[in-house]
């Protein structure tokens, strides 16, 4: 591990390998952009979730990776909060006491990052997620601090409680989120609506950098069977989306196209119950490109959520015909009706899916537009990402002087 000063240190609770979730794919894409642009970076992954550390070391170079232990601190409740939780349980109502912004960032992690900071001496540090923004305290004032937010976390609990669900993941108040945001010298939002939210709580620059996607020109699906694809993790938002798809969308598509098949991929399959007619539960998948290669139409029936739906822009980058409910295309509105088709209501969702399954020329035209949109999208995101680093004075070497992967095989 090098002890010389580097341009950029990226600190993440999310691994880049395997890239089987949207946030993992995003971070991996950021690193690939830095690498291709000649940015001298070091990637520090702390083990909030499982990752393939051998694959990460092989991909980025063992000398460009650090792996840090992590244990989430036990959450502390006041007496009043404990009573509130108990009363909500007795009444059968969801209980949501917002986290404080640093509740997941314990002293052991801070000590490990402080040691890493002294060893790497970066000119710029990028921290993933606002609830780990306290890690900026490990660096001197002269280090340029960039926060990659991924999502709005203030009032996320209300999105769940309004539906009678217990909130998931991290949620806090607007005031606590502002504390984290204002620790940075520059804030990255994943889509323009969230950028406006963050600008309302800080005077530091806020830059929008969406997900940079893999680009593959449209190809003929590898199966002759009209195939619809839905991909998702097992979170509550995806569970609700799958239920909506199976109960209100799929039966009508199947009635109109009797030989159509719905292939469901990812951990969401565990929540699908007994498959309906024409539904295939494919389970987890390591090769997403092969899975997408089977799809005639990709669907995003999400009706709630924050951030940018990475699955949607990924489908466009692979030249797939996409039909999406509104929450699935938030942040991608520039492509509405040209790069993908909307499904704001069940009837519209069904009609657009059926038309694409039955009308090959229309589907091919949409695929070409999807790919063109994603290509232009990538250019904008790369330009904005590199502008963030240039604002902090990060330097770049010409591409030819830096071998990909640090000279190591993929």
In a domain, 153, yes or no: yes
Tens digits of residue pLDDT in 150-163? 988 887 767 666 66
Does residue 62 share a domain with residue 201? yes
Identify the CA nearest to 348 among candidates 279, 292, 299. 299
In a domain, 400, yes or no: no
Which residues, listed in sequence order, are joined to residue 9 by a DSSP beta bridge?
42, 125
The H-or-E segment that residue 46 falls in is strand 41-46
For residue 233, the SS3 value is coil
> Is residue 293 over pLDDT 60?
yes
> Is residue 210 over pLDDT 60?
yes
Identify the CA nearest to 43 among candidates 128, 101, 102. 128
For residue 43, the SS3 value is strand
Does residue 256 share a domain with residue 183? no
Domain boundary among 209, 240, 256: 209
Quote the CA–CA distance of 55 and 51 in Å, as a whole number.
9
Helix and strand numbers (H, E) in the chain are 13, 13
Segments forming the whole domain that contains residue 297: 227-372
* CATH number for the domain harbouring residue 74: 3.40.50.11930
Domain boundary among 147, 177, 209: 209
Q: Are the CB atoms for 205 and 145 separated by under 8 Å?
A: no
In a domain, 245, yes or no: yes
For residue 99, the SS3 value is strand
Domain boundary among 179, 209, 239: 209
Band of pLDDT at residue 301, cut at 50, 70 and 90: very high
Q: What is the mean pLDDT of residues 241-251?
A: 94
Q: Are the CB atoms for 392 and 146 separated by under 8 Å?
A: yes
The share of the chain scoring above pLDDT 70, in percent, equals 86
Does residue 234 share a domain with residue 190? no
pTM over 0.95, yes/no: no
Q: Are the CB atoms for 104 and 170 separated by under 8 Å?
A: yes
Q: How many CB atoms lie under 10 A from the CB of residue 289?
A: 11
Does residue 195 share a domain with residue 121? yes
Quote the CA–CA distance of 378 and 387 in Å, as a whole number.
14
Does residue 186 share a domain with residue 93? yes
Determine phi and psi for 357, rounding to 5 degrees. -70, -30
Higher pLDDT, 299 or 157: 299
Question: With the CA atoms of 343, 347, 352 and 355 taken in that order, what torsion angle do they form, in degrees rounded to the nearest 10?
Answer: 170
Quote the CA–CA distance of 282 and 263 in Å, as a whole number.
6
Tell the residue number behind the tokens 């600190």, with chain if given.
11
Tens digits of residue pLDDT in 172-184? 889 999 999 999 9
Tens digits of residue pLDDT in 87-131? 666 656 656 678 899 999 999 999 999 999 999 999 999 999 999
pLDDT of residue 390: 85
In a domain, 221, yes or no: no
Residue 88, judged by CB atoms within 10 A of its CB (0-12, 13-18, 19+), counts as: middle
Does residue 245 share a domain with residue 199? no
- How many degrees, rounded to 5, is the angle at CA 325 between CA 351 and CA 371? 85
Select, from the ranges 51-65, 94-108, 285-299, the one with the highest average predicted confidence (pLDDT).
51-65
Write the DSSP string, 198-211: HHTT-SS-EEE---
Q: Which two tokens stand for residue 211?
A: 């997900």
pLDDT of residue 157: 67
Residue 262, judged by CB atoms within 10 A of its CB (0-12, 13-18, 19+), counts as: buried
Tell the residue number behind the tokens 């990255």, with chain if given.
188
In a domain, 19, yes or no: yes
Q: Distance between alpha carbon 9 and the CA centroid of its chain, in Å?
A: 20
Could you tell me which residues come within 8 angstroms of residue 5 by beta carbon, excluding any fewer than 6 positions away? Answer: 120, 121, 122, 123
Tell the residue number behind the tokens 């969702």, with chain if given.
349
Tell the residue number behind the tokens 């929540």, with chain if given.
271
Q: Are the CB atoms for 125 and 81 separated by under 8 Å?
A: no
> Is residue 407 over pLDDT 50?
no
Does residue 232 share a domain with residue 198? no
Q: What is the mean pLDDT of residues 23-32?
A: 92
Does residue 245 share a domain with residue 162? no
In a domain, 395, yes or no: no
- Preceding amide of 281 cis, omega within 30: no
Tens digits of residue pLDDT in 345-403? 999 999 999 999 999 999 999 999 999 999 999 999 999 999 998 887 654 444 333 33
Query: How many separate domains does the chain show?
Result: 2
């Amino acid at each position: 591990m090098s002890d010389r000063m580097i341009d950029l240190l990226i600190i993440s609770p999310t691994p880049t390998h395997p890239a089987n979730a949207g946030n993992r794919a995003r971070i991996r894409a950021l690193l690939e952009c830095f690498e291709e642009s000649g940015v001298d970076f070091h990637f520090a992954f702390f083990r909030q979730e499982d990752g393939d550390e051998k694959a990460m070391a092989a991909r980025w170079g063992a000398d460009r990776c650090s792996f840090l232990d992590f244990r989430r601190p036990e959450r502390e409740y006041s007496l009043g909060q404990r009573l509130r939780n108990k009363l909500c349980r007795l009444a059968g109502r969801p209980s949501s006491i917002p986290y404080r912004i640093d509740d997941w960032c314990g002293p052991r992690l801070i000590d490990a990052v402080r040691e890493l900071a002294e060893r790497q001496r970066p000119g710029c540090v990028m921290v993933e997620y606002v609830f780990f923004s306290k890690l900026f305290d490990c660096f001197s004032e002269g280090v340029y601090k960039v926060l990659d937010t991924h999502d709005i976390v203030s009032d996320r609990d209300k999105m769940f409680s309004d539906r009678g669900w217990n909130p998931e993941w991290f949620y806090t108040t607007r005031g606590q989120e502002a504390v984290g945001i204002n620790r940075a010298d520059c804030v990255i939002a994943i889509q323009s609506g969230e950028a406006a939210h963050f600008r309302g709580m800080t005077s530091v620059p806020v830059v929008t950098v969406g997900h940079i996607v893999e680009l593959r020109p449209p190809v003929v699906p590898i199966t002759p069977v009209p195939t619809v694809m839905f991909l998702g993790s097992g979170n509550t938002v995806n569970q609700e989306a799958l239920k909506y798809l199976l109960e209100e969308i799929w039966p009508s598509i199947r009635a109109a196209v009797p030989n159509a098949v719905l292939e469901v991929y990812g951990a969401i399959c565990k929540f699908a119950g007994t498959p309906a007619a024409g539904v295939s539960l494919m389970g987890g998948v390591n090769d997403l490109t092969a899975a997408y290669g089977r799809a005639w139409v990709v669907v995003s029936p999400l009706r709630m959520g924050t951030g940018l739906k990475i699955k949607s822009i990924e489908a466009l980058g692979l030249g797939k015909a996409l039909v999406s409910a509104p929450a699935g295309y938030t942040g991608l509105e520039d492509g509405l009706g040209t790069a993908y088709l909307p499904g704001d209501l069940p009837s519209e969702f069904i009609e657009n899916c059926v038309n694409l399954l039955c009308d090959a020329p229309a589907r091919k035209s949409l695929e070409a537009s999807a790919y063109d949109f994603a290509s232009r999208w990538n250019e904008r995101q790369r330009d904005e990402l590199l502008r963030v680093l240039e604002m902090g004075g990060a330097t770049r070497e010409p591409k030819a002087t830096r071998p990909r992967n640090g000279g190591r095989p993929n």
